[in-house]
Structure 1
């Protein structure tokens, strides 16, 4: 049996909920299909010590401010899960859990969305699948010979599992710095390696300022002015308190990127080596767009060409939450609201007779 609705939103994390909020406000019939069995998106799977970059009041989805977490300036991941759970209930968003989308096809006037529980026909689709399910692991020489544990950010939970071990953390972004600081505070034998010397943002800069900078860059580009460089011009690492404390205590001493893995560790081009029981790769993600492959829209770097959030070659498809290419800071809680609103308005115009 094929069901029909005006809009199918694929993904029930923060981007999918923001889309649902604006579609609901416009009175557009829609369903939100989420492969996870519980609310909270990827936030329910992060490491134990993760903190937001911004205070709660600057980490909110449209229509509902995130409440302050008692005793915390920067809320933890569980607080975000609780907030998203409440948000979904408050606005009675039509989320169907455990609904895994396998493919999206053109079907005449509709897009057909295949799931493990049957098909949907929709006049428009919003892709809000995020990146968490597509961790990126670089092809480093020696990776097949290395006998220790190889983990990505998505598999890291807490320092306790590495007690008494030697750990290499790879990555000079926020995840790499936060996980390295987490391990360093716990006294783990740590080597932190980065592609280039870490660039910390000024200590008084948080996610709200980053959103403003990203928005200013997008406005400049849209107006044909010179590229301001955006967030990348400020640095790579937000100095949240645990990172700042570890840095100032001399616990974070980054080394340049090694040239290869050995059976028991890592080695640099100058012959220096380090033993490692585990290597944690904080090397980022790719957009999780496999369900849309049948539409043949993907271009360079796995991206789909967009104007705003709308796919250039399939105007019935909008993409939310993948980064600046789908809206300034759109992969953040505070940043996804505006592109979600714009997508809902464009969809409303598309559906109008």
Structure 2
């Protein structure tokens, strides 16, 4: 079995950026993608989400992203990614479902349902979409209505005429409320009071937010999303929901779920027909468990004070779309950093081999 110089797992924004930069550096590699078609997580988003609704899609290196129109985001971004793969002749193989990565006498062995590959380095670009976080509350299994997570949100029209409980304090919850409040009855619950941003989100403010996430990663803590530290802002499409008072009527979390609603801590009851869990995602890194990259604090520590992409415990591994690079802009930058990290490791390895 041949040994590749590098393998990229995942062909979303971070994976494609990494492959582009690896190709520019002349590093032979392969991209393994679990999806049947190009598009990363974007292809799985709800049809009602348009390019005007998304928070932004940064251009992949050497390209122009789709315009912010009323086009469906899942189709527009998927087409963009597909054309990018063709234009730059990126070596993407799909579908490949990676189960685990192990070490075999100093060489990384990537195990998948579809086969095995050996590689000197690995760029992990698996994102978070496949790891939705769903908290457990007493009685949730008894609820007779519908329950959805962001990952399987069917779009606002599905909820018309239903009383919907939206759970979560992030950008997705704000967006769902903005779409649902004008057409149906909604209730909003969060664990903590939402933090609203009242000033402009300048580049300096963005850098400060990313720095907070970097601090956690540098310590080996599990990363928080960049959005979680920027604060919430309302966009024009959410102003009608704001006028209706939805964002001012937020309630603290309920104590338990009952068959036809939720029970609050004060004993009062709220009837709801559906619960929409906008409770976020976790990094999809379970396949890396055999490499023991996690610190005792629960996260994977990265180099350069959390600003790099190299795993401190194993310099063969690059993580992109993880922690501070979990955004489209951050993923692009991380792809370049990861490719350089791969080159640095390969160069050092070959120098060591020659010395011997």
TM-score (ref. length: structure 1) = 0.86
Match of 1:16 in 2: 15
Where 1:306 maps in the other structure, the secondary structure is coil
Shift of 1:340: 1.6
Separation (CA, whole Å) in 2 of partners of 1:203 and 1:78: 33
Are the structure 2 counterparts of residues 5 and 215 from structure 1 closer, same or farther at C-alpha, using a change threshold of 3 Å? same
**What do the CA deviations read for 1:16-45 (whole angstroms, capped 9, x no partner)?**
101101101100000000010011110111
Where 2:280 maps in the other structure, the secondary structure is coil
Correspondence 1:276-315 to 2 at 5 A: 276-299=272-295, 302-307=298-303, 308-315=308-315
Aligned residue among 253, 267, 272 for 1:271: 267
Are the structure 2 counterparts of residues 77 and 332 from structure 1 closer, same or farther at C-alpha, using a change threshold of 3 Å? farther
Q: Decide whether the 8 Å contact of 1:35 with 1:101 is kept in 2.
A: yes
Match of 1:334 in 2: 329
Separation (CA, whole Å) in 2 of partners of 1:310 and 1:36: 25
**What do the CA deviations read for 1:95-128 (whole angstroms, capped 9, x no partner)?**
1111111110101231000112211100001111
Match of 1:327 in 2: none
Aligned residue among 193, 200, 210 for 2:196: 200
Structure 2: stretches of 5+ with no match in the other structure: 218-225, 351-356
The range that moved more, 277-286 or 192-201, is 192-201
Match of 1:248 in 2: 243
Shift of 1:220: 9.3
Aligned length: 333
Separation (CA, whole Å) in 1 of partners of 2:97 and 2:190: 36
Separation (CA, whole Å) in 2 of partners of 1:220 and 1:176: 26
Structure 1: stretches of 5+ with no match in the other structure: 223-229, 325-329
Separation (CA, whole Å) in 1 of partners of 2:205 and 2:153: 26
Aligned residue among 122, 137, 161 for 1:164: 161
Match of 1:42 in 2: 41
Whether 1:108 aligns to 2:105 is yes
Separation (CA, whole Å) in 2 of partners of 1:233 and 1:130: 19
Q: Decide whether the 8 Å contact of 2:99 with 2:112 is kept in 1.
A: yes
Match of 1:53 in 2: 55
The range that moved more, 2-11 or 311-320, is 2-11
Q: Decide whether the 8 Å contact of 1:53 with 1:238 is kept in 2.
A: no
Separation (CA, whole Å) in 2 of partners of 1:189 and 1:7: 51
Shift of 1:244: 3.1
Where 2:127 maps in the other structure, the secondary structure is coil
Separation (CA, whole Å) in 1 of partners of 2:214 and 2:123: 24
Q: Decide whether the 8 Å contact of 1:145 with 1:263 is kept in 2.
A: yes
The range that moved more, 333-342 or 197-206, is 197-206
Match of 2:319 in 1: 319
Correspondence 1:2-151 to 2 at 5 A: 2-50=1-49, 51-54=53-56, 59-70=58-69, 76-151=73-148
Match of 2:221 in 1: none
Are the structure 2 counterparts of residues 217 and 18 from structure 1 closer, same or farther at C-alpha, using a change threshold of 3 Å? same
Correspondence 1:188-267 to 2 at 5 A: 188-202=184-198, 204-205=200-201, 211-215=206-210, 234-235=230-231, 237-252=232-247, 253-267=249-263
Separation (CA, whole Å) in 1 of partners of 2:86 and 2:262: 48
Q: Decide whether the 8 Å contact of 1:16 with 1:32 is kept in 2.
A: yes
Are the structure 2 counterparts of residues 238 and 89 from structure 1 closer, same or farther at C-alpha, using a change threshold of 3 Å? farther
Are the structure 2 counterparts of residues 46 and 70 from structure 1 closer, same or farther at C-alpha, using a change threshold of 3 Å? closer
Separation (CA, whole Å) in 2 of partners of 1:119 and 1:180: 44
Shift of 1:215: 4.9
Separation (CA, whole Å) in 2 of partners of 1:85 and 1:301: 38
Are the structure 2 counterparts of residues 128 and 219 from structure 1 closer, same or farther at C-alpha, using a change threshold of 3 Å? closer
The root-mean-square deviation of aligned C-alpha atoms, in Å, is 2.6
